[in-house]
Amino acid sequence: MTSDVVADEVRVCRLDDLLPERGAGALVGEHRIAVFRLADDRLLAVQQRDPYSGANVLSRGIVGDVDGAATVTSPMFKQVWDLATGACLDAVGKEPVDLRTYPVRLVGDEVRVAVTP
Amino acid sequence: MHSEGTARTGPGRVVVVGGGMVAHRFAEQLCARADAGDWHLTVIGEEPHLPYDRVHLSEVFDGRADADLALAPEPWADPRVDLVTGDPVVALDLAAQTVTTRAGRVEPYDALVLATGSRAWVPRTEGVDLPGVLCYRTLGDVTDLRSWVADRGSALGRPLRGAVVGGGVLGLEAAAALQKLGVAPTVVEFADRLMAVQLDAGGGEALRVLVTDLGLDVRTSAAATRVVAGDDGRVAGLDLSTGETLDADVVVYSTGIRPRDGLARAAGLVVAERGGVVVGPTCRTSDPAVWAIGECASFEGECAGLVAPGNAMADVVVDQLCGGVKGYSKAADGTKLKGVGVDAASFGDVLALTPGALEVTFADPVAKTYRKLVVSDDARVLLGGVFVGDIELYSSLRPMLGRPLGADPSAFLAPPGGAAPVQTDVPDDVVLCSCSNVSAGTVRAAVTEHGCTSVGEVKACTRAGTVCGSCVPLLTTVVNRTLEQAGIAVSSAMCEHFAMSRAELYALVRAERLRTFTEVVGAHGKGRGCAVCRPVVASILSSLGIGHVLQPDQAPLQDTNDHLLANLQKDGTYSVVPRMPGGEVTPERLLVLAEVARDFGLFTRVTGAQRIAMFGARQDQLPAIWRRLVDAGFESGQAYGKSLRAVKTCVGQAWCRFGVQDSASMAVRLELRYRGLRSPHKFKVGVSGCARECAEARGKDVGVIATEKGWNVYVGGNGGFTPRHADLLAEDLDDDRLVQVVDRFLALYVRSADRLQRTAPWVAAYPGGLEELRRVVVEDSLGIGAELDAEVERHVSGYVDEWRATLDDPEKLRRFTPYLNDPDAADPDLAYVPQRGQARPARPGEHGHHDLRVARTLEEAPL
Ligand code: SRM
Ligand SMILES: Cc1cc2nc3c(=O)[nH]c(=O)nc-3n(C[C@H](O)[C@H](O)[C@H](O)COP(=O)(O)OP(=O)(O)OC[C@H]3O[C@@H](n4cnc5c(N)ncnc54)[C@H](O)[C@@H]3O)c2cc1C
Ligand code: SF4
Ligand code: FES
């Protein structure tokens, strides 16, 4: 990646603001982002909008794993996505729709999300 | 025997000295004996706490509160039981049959039970009395350790170093605890390997590699010869026999335990050469009115260091006191390391000392596992096993100790990871569950003769697997194979993480007193869980009164409804449904609802369950809305939980000319009793004041219908997708008996239903049908009535309004912030349109306003 990614990085919160194994929302410009902190403090971010209901709720889904890959399940209709890749792993009988992912990292105790247009 | 005075009809005045784990077991078992006759129990403990779970002591370093270690408090609520804490017994007078405490309390007894446990033993070594040299046995020790580390850390202003003397199971646990406190520990072990009593050289080496990976520093073949003081007189180092001196700001000794037999010794009871009060199979001491159980008792010259034998002794004494003839015998024990993050376990002849014994070893240096079986010279009989890194075989092979294996030993070890362990048919006479002394044959008979169709039922029927739980994997195998052979299909896997059903998991969690998701998945599942199993575990922990839905460690397990205590709507907002017992609401409170709904613009309607719901509350608004409702005396209606919804009722006798009982008052009583009770699925109750049934009670999970003589109770009703009328369970009950029957019905449902199984299908599938359910619930044929009552009682006394508790806790309020980087921002994409004077979410293509209050005032589009 080039350095303009770093330039677009936005601080969203401190690590302590996030509960392990849960998500939280962040608003970065036009982007509604769901940021997740895993048990091992790994950070992952995907779009907040649930493509199936259109509601901004994915940060409120349950975190878990499918064959070891970290996942989130939509609280609305229970579709499951791979948090790292955004791939839809269980579309609950619908057409699979993947999620956009966002690079996220910890700098000191700051959680930063990188947004490229 | 002591037989002065009139003949007693029961154990009489029973006094237990010691308030530890085994004393608790004793009290629990005595309370559960329906046939005990007259008794009164006084338990006197020296520690200031309620009897607690010492086995899980280390969990306070994983964030578990000290108070959460307390063992089930039901016995202490029993009117026949007195518990004294913080006051040790200092004298025992065998002739007068009294004990005296330090505070001067004199307690006469008809039967005395010594359950004084053991103390940590520290060898006489120079410097062991320096400040900063500690033990690891009691909650007091843990408090000392914590405050020493905190104080020392801030005094020295740098990370601390620690040393643990003793590399046994407890020493390793203590070292892990130090690590959790941020102290870098070195473990010093006199023998040439860790867990020297339980592991052979290969196993010890494998364990050393694994714990070193976790950051523990290990010195074997090294003795601690002197604790060295620093300039300030505090501990600063540890001299080893190897010549090395370790820097150490804290030293924990874990060099063994010694039975606390001082009281018995002073009173003149016979004490064993190696310590401990001498008992035989009845657990009676040399004085016939005195018994000894647990770690302070010496049986066949040995004191147990584990809780299971102590519990078995407690059961024996309860039985003896009630006129029974149960005896104690040593069960084959094994040891399993826990709390360290590394698996190691062994049983039997680990060093292959039996003449001619053969060892079959499988060590995988890449996977860092070591597994060994010890077998007889003809390779047929199992004599022992050592497992490090992968202990899957431990639970299935341990009961086979001393038995023919039925297959080549290497076949058990061959598949790396033990993916498909060889199936052996455990002979009928093998004791499968040593805690409850249940043989494989009894387990099979539970399936073939008593109609049990799941592991959970077999446990309830035989008690196998209900104590320490270590036999459950084997139990599950035997039960499932027997079911298969009987042609009964069993697939009960909940999801990819748990291979069992909710009911089975419930029984395991309950039996093993597991406390956190991590523990549950560690013991019985794999991976990190998912949206199916996490809420199930949360609900189980909550039903058991272990993990409250509001507890921080429960947060990752809850779906959004339980997390935010509100029900998610289609646009991501939530509904607000306060409890309204009996469907009643005072005009004053109704005004508060109206004002809240107006001020926040919430869409308001009367629900199908006789209460008022308000829709459209944003995540960030929920606390402010509930603050006003709670201040006005409302509480959560749990419309979001898998729990009691509402108790629907009619006006009944109070107003109705046909009513024969006060249905509304009964409805309010039931609603306040079961509010907040977490269950496999939601449940609903109805109460009608007469047979006209205006409350539609028979459409509910529990339906109560008034009769001239009392109440009829119906169970298993359902509206919804597959409507079903509830079936009559019992007739003409008075108020209290009605409550008892409903308590038992619900507690049994909570225990044994499947995930998301309403009572209707559960009742329909109940083994033995409604008849059997009636026997269990109404007639208490299984003798579990008191247990079920206690479970509901614990729920009732532990109830707190979730919303009130949340509002009082700034930490919990944080989860309502929708956008962390912009805490005042609301969801920018919400849009509403007016509808009949209120506002609803805009549909695709409709142009709406983001503010509900504005949207409801806009002009409505023509229909
Ligand atoms: C609000 C309400 C409709 C209304 O506006 O009146 C309602 C709303 C919902 N019902 Fe209901 N049910 C409501 C009364 C009922 C009733 C009538 C009753 O309770 O007397 C029934 C039939 C009786 C029964 O349960 O046996 C009912 C049968 C269901 C079912 C089907 C259950 C079944 O066993 O088949 C579901 C689906 C489920 O739970 O899995 C359901 C699920 C739902 C959910 C929770 C769906 C969801 O997950 O979002 C709805 C959201 C509630 C919310 O936001 O708070 N609701 N639902 C009623 C709330 C009552 C209350 O005050 O708590
Ligand atoms: C860290 C740790 C981990 C453990 N892990 C396991 C494990 O995984 N598996 C296992 O089986 N076991 C384990 N144990 C051992 C287990 O805790 C004991 O076997 C069990 O607690 C013994 O129960 P008890 O009632 O005999 O003794 P205790 O639980 O020690 O209770 C005795 C009580 O009596 C009190 N007392 C003593 N004298 C008097 C007096 N004169 N008057 C009044 N009160 C008195 C003591 O203060 C104490 O509270 C562990 C122990 C520790 C410390
Ligand atoms: S059920 Fe009976 S008591 Fe209740 S309102 Fe109807 S008629 Fe009256
Ligand atoms: S062996 Fe402990 S419960 Fe069965």
**Out of B528, B563, B829, whose CB is closest to A65?**
B528
Q: Which residues of A touch B530 (CB under 8 A)?
A: 62, 64-66, 71, 73, 80
* A20–B820 C-beta distance less than 8 A: no
Q: Which residues of B touch A64 (CB under 8 A)?
A: 497, 527-531, 533-534
Q: Which residues of B touch A26 (CB under 8 A)?
A: 819-822
Evaluate whether B227 touches B199 at the Cβ level (below 8 Å): no
Rounded to whole angstroms, how far apart are CA atoms B620 and B816?
5
Rounded to whole angstroms, how far apart are CA atoms B251 and B235?
8
Q: Two tokens at B82? A: 């007195």
* B530–A60 C-beta distance less than 8 A: no
Q: Compute the distance from residue B639 Cα to the ligand 1 centre, in Å.
A: 9
Q: Which residues of B touch A70 (CB under 8 A)?
A: 528
Q: Which residues 75-94 in chain A show a CB within 8 A of chain B?
A: 75-76, 78, 80
Q: Is A42 exposed, middle or buried (0-12, 13-18, 19+ CB in 10 A)?
A: middle
Rounded to whole angstroms, how far apart are CA atoms B387 and B360?
12
Rounded to whole angstroms, how far apart are CA atoms B569 and B16?
56
**In the prediction, which pLDDT does B480 show?**
83
pTM (predicted TM-score): 0.53
The DSSP symbol for B404 reads B
* B821–A22 C-beta distance less than 8 A: no
Rounded to whole angstroms, how far apart are CA atoms B38 and A2?
82
Rounded to whole angstroms, how far apart are CA atoms B208 and B211?
5
**In the prediction, which pLDDT does A4 show?**
40
Evaluate whether B443 touches B478 at the Cβ level (below 8 Å): yes
By DSSP bridging, strand B39-44 and strand B81-84 are parallel
**In the prediction, which pLDDT does B3 show?**
42
Give the N- to C-terminal CA distance of chain B in Å, as an integer. Answer: 92
Q: Two tokens at B141? A: 């020790």
By DSSP bridging, strand B184-188 and strand B217-219 are parallel
* B827–A56 C-beta distance less than 8 A: yes
Q: Two tokens at B399? A: 């009961």
Cα–Cα distances (Å) from B356 to A8, B250, B352, B386, B397, in that order, read: 72, 46, 8, 18, 20
Which segments in chain B show pLDDT lower than 70?
1-8, 414-424, 435, 466-470, 473, 490-492, 547-550, 721, 862-863
- ipTM score over 0.90, yes or no: no
Rounded to whole angstroms, how far apart are CA atoms B22 and B303?
14
**Out of B534, B825, B844, whose CB is closest to A27?**
B825
**Out of A53, A64, A67, whose CB is closest to B529?**
A64
Q: At what angle do helices B735-752 and B769-777 cross, to 10 degrees?
A: 120
Q: B310: Cβ below 6 Å to ligand 2?
A: yes
* A24–B496 C-beta distance less than 8 A: no
Nearest CA in chain B to A64: B530
By DSSP bridging, strand B727-733 and strand A31-37 are unpaired
Q: Which residues of A touch B571 (CB under 8 A)?
A: 54-55
Rounded to whole angstroms, how far apart are CA atoms A71 and A88?
9
Q: Two tokens at B851? A: 């503010």
Measured from the Cβ of residue B156, the count of other Cβ atoms closer than 10 Å reads 13
Residue A7 pLDDT > 60: no
Nearest CA in chain A to B572: A55
Residue in B229, B172, B162, B211 with CA at minimum distance from that of residue B195:
B172
Residue in B84, B78, B83, B109 with CA at minimum distance from that of residue B94:
B109
State the DSSP H helix or E strand holding residue B134, giving kind and residue range, or none if neither: strand B133-135
Rounded to whole angstroms, how far apart are CA atoms B89 and B199?
38
Return the percent helix, strand and coil in chain B, to nearest 5: 35, 20, 45
* B557–A62 C-beta distance less than 8 A: yes
Q: Compute the distance from residue B727 Cα to the ligand 4 centre, in Å.
A: 37
Instruction: Read off the amino acid at residue A76.
Output: M
Q: Which residues of B touch A57 (CB under 8 A)?
A: 560, 568, 572
Q: Is A90 exposed, middle or buried (0-12, 13-18, 19+ CB in 10 A)?
A: middle
Measured from the Cβ of residue B691, the count of other Cβ atoms closer than 10 Å reads 11
User: Chain centroid to CA A117: how far?
Assistant: 17
From the CA of B438, give the closest atom in ligand 4: 4
Q: Is B494 exposed, middle or buried (0-12, 13-18, 19+ CB in 10 A)?
A: buried
The residue of A62, A63, A74, A82 whose CB has the most chain B CBs within 10 angstroms, and thus the best one to mutate to test that interface, is: A62
Q: Which residues of B touch A66 (CB under 8 A)?
A: 496, 530
Question: Ligand 2 pocket check: which of B25, B26, B105, B116 to mutate, most ligand atoms within 8 Å of Cβ?
Answer: B116
Rounded to whole angstroms, how far apart are CA atoms A105 and B9?
72
From the CA of B47, give the closest atom in ligand 2: 47
Question: What is the three-class DSSP state of B816?
Answer: helix
The residue of A9, A10, A38, A56 whose CB has the most chain B CBs within 10 angstroms, and thus the best one to mutate to test that interface, is: A56
The ligand minimizing its distance to the Cα of B345 is 2
Q: B694-728: b or e for each residue (b if 16 or more CB lie within 10 Å)? A: bbbbbbbbbbbbbeeebbbbbbbbbeeeeebebbe
Evaluate whether B625 touches B619 at the Cβ level (below 8 Å): no
Q: Which backbone phi and psi does B799 adopt, to 5 degrees?
A: -65, 130
* A12–B820 C-beta distance less than 8 A: yes
The residue of B498, B528, B534, B814 whose CB has the most chain A CBs within 10 angstroms, and thus the best one to mutate to test that interface, is: B528
Q: Which residues line ligand 1 (CB under 6 A)?
A: B 567, 575, 577, 605, 607-609, 611, 613, 639, 645-646, 648, 682, 684, 718-721, 758
The residue of B560, B755, B819, B830 whose CB has the most chain A CBs within 10 angstroms, and thus the best one to mutate to test that interface, is: B819
Evaluate whether B766 touches B748 at the Cβ level (below 8 Å): no
> Within 13 Å, how many C-alpha atoms sit on residue B762's CB side?
29
**Out of B530, B572, B817, whose CB is closest to A55?**
B572
The residue of A33, A60, A111 whose CB has the most chain B CBs within 10 angstroms, and thus the best one to mutate to test that interface, is: A60
pLDDT, average across residues A75-94: 89
Q: Which residues line ligand 3 (CB under 6 A)?
A: B 650-652, 656, 658-659, 663, 688-690, 692-694
Q: Compute the distance from residue B21 Cα to the ligand 2 centre, in Å.
A: 6
Q: Two tokens at B447? A: 């399936």
Q: Which backbone phi and psi does B774 adopt, to 5 degrees?
A: -65, -45
Cα–Cα distances (Å) from B499 to B495, B503, B529, in that order, read: 7, 12, 12
β-bridge partners, B253: B135, B165
Rounded to whole angstroms, how far apart are CA atoms B416 and B407?
17
Q: Interior CA angle at B486 toward B484 and B487, to 5°?
A: 65
Q: Which backbone phi and psi does B603 adopt, to 5 degrees?
A: -75, 125
Q: Which residue has the higher pLDDT, A65 or B339?
A: A65
Q: Whose alpha carbon is nearest atom 2 of ligand 4?
A: B468
Q: Compute the distance from residue B92 Cα to the ligand 3 centre, in Å.
A: 65
Rounded to whole angstroms, how far apart are CA atoms B1 and B709?
51
Q: Two tokens at B631? A: 């201040």
Question: Ligand 4 pocket check: which of B435, B462, B510, B514 to mutate, most ligand atoms within 8 Å of Cβ?
Answer: B435
Cα–Cα distances (Å) from B181 to B133, B156, B252, B262, in that order, read: 16, 15, 13, 34
β-bridge partners, B730: B713
Q: Two tokens at B45? A: 């403990």
CB contact, 8 Å: A10 with chain B?
Answer: yes
Rounded to whole angstroms, how far apart are CA atoms B566 and B119?
49
The ligand minimizing its distance to the Cα of B726 is 1
Rounded to whole angstroms, how far apart are CA atoms B448 and B118?
44
Q: Compute the distance from residue B151 Cα to the ligand 4 centre, in Å.
A: 42
* Residue carrying the six token digits 């870098």: B184
Instruction: Read off the amino acid at residue B425.
Output: D
Q: Phi/psi zone of residue B394: left (φ > 0), alpha (ψ -120 to 50 degrees), beta?
A: alpha
Q: B469: Cβ below 6 Å to ligand 4?
A: yes
Evaluate whether B71 touches B24 at the Cβ level (below 8 Å): yes
Rounded to whole angstroms, how far apart are CA atoms B161 and B329?
44
**Out of A20, A56, A60, whose CB is closest to B560?**
A60
Give the list of residues 6+ apart from residue B5 with CB closer than 8 angstroms, or none.
none
Q: B470: Cβ below 6 Å to ligand 4?
A: yes
**Out of A21, A28, A49, whose CB is closest to B556?**
A21
Q: B467: Cβ below 6 Å to ligand 4?
A: yes
> Within 13 Å, how many C-alpha atoms sit on residue B439's CB side?
7
**In the prediction, which pLDDT does B863 show?**
59
**Out of B531, B570, B820, whose CB is closest to A13?**
B820
Residue in B325, B320, B263 with CA at minimum distance from that of residue B296:
B263
